[in-house]
């Protein structure tokens, strides 16, 4: 762990109850799921408070943590800002995300750009439209990339009808950045939660997901919903071996 008064660098799985309060919703939920035993990629979080985000001052810490991940591993660098991925606001797509980043110097550069996105015009307009005032701060999550055959989002209730007996899944082949960016039409699966019955299916992006993999994913979704005690908006990756990794979970805000 690297920690100073206005800066913290720590493994997600080692955050304590006080520390999760300052790392933003994304990092907090990932930490909680790791501790609970869910399949979440290994990673660490950098927390900058009071607008202290001079990343270059902490390059050595980033290098040290990355070396413990294996040095040659590819990582995702994602924002975890104050107010993001909470019960009231998601901030989905407002801040920067960088995938397949290699090398500690590449991570430093991506972390800088994540920090700068806190004050971009899009994020400022979002905060104004939601009436969000007060201080804002940026934490950044660095996690190992998952070799994804499929990626997507899973809502543990139907986000359109609010039917809590259904699980709503959108998927695409490979990484989910095109899905999140709206550049592909995802495949859709609507599944009856209790008996695991597919009630609606539209395969438009890549091959169909195996039923056994869909079932495993839904079971994880149900467990996460139970763990957080509310319906969840979950981002996932499914490997070629059918393992469902969870890369984000937040309350459904739509």
The pLDDT value given to residue 204: 87
83: left (phi over 0), alpha (psi -120 to 50) or beta: left
What is the longest distance spanned by two Cα atoms in the chain?
53
| Structure letter (DSSP) for residue 146 | P
The pLDDT value given to residue 132: 54
> Where does the pLDDT of residue 253 fall: very low under 50, low under 70, confident under 90, or very high at 90 and above?
confident
Q: What is the mean pLDDT of residues 96-120?
A: 86
22-64 confidence digits (pLDDT tens): 888 899 999 999 999 999 999 999 987 654 457 888 888 999 9
> Where does the pLDDT of residue 167 fall: very low under 50, low under 70, confident under 90, or very high at 90 and above?
very high
Q: What is the mean pLDDT of residues 190-198?
A: 92
The pLDDT value given to residue 48: 74
Alpha carbon distance 107, 120 (integer Å): 20
Q: What's the mean per-residue pLDDT of the chain?
A: 84
The pLDDT value given to residue 113: 87
Q: What is the mean pLDDT of residues 97-105?
A: 92
- Long-range (24+ apart) CB contacts under 8 A made by 93-99 are 93/180, 93/181, 94/120, 94/122, 94/123, 94/126, 95/120, 95/123, 95/138, 97/177, 99/145, 99/175, 99/177
Looking at the predicted structure, is the pLDDT value of residue 92 above 60?
no
Alpha carbon distance 193, 187 (integer Å): 18
> Where does the pLDDT of residue 252 fall: very low under 50, low under 70, confident under 90, or very high at 90 and above?
confident
């Amino acid at each position: 762990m690297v920690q100073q008064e206005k800066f913290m660098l720590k493994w997600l799985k080692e955050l304590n109850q006080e520390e999760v309060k300052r790392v933003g919703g994304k990092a907090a939920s990932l930490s909680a799921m790791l501790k609970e035993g869910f399949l979440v990629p290994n990673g660490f979080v950098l927390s900058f408070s009071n607008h202290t985000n001079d990343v270059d001052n902490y390059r050595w810490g980033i290098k040290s943590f990355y070396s413990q991940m294996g040095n040659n591993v590819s990582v995702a660098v994602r924002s975890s800002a104050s107010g993001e991925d909470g019960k009231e606001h998601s901030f989905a797509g407002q801040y920067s995300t960088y995938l397949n980043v290699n090398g500690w110097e590449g991570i430093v550069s991506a972390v800088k750009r994540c920090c700068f996105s806190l004050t971009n015009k899009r994020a400022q307009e979002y905060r104004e439209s939601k009436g969000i005032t007060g201080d804002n701060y940026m934490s950044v999550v660095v996690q190992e990339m998952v070799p994804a055959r499929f990626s997507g989002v899973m809502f543990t209730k139907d986000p359109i009808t609010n039917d809590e007996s259904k699980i709503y899944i959108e998927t695409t082949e490979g990484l989910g950045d095109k899905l999140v960016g709206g550049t592909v039409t995802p495949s859709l699966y609507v599944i009856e939660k209790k008996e695991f019955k597919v009630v609606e299916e539209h395969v438009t992006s890549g091959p169909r997901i195996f039923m056994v993999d869909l079932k495993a994913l839904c079971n994880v979704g149900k467990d996460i919903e139970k763990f957080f005690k509310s319906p969840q908006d979950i981002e996932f990756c499914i490997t070629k071996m059918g393992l469902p990794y969870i890369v984000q979970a937040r309350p459904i805000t739509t």
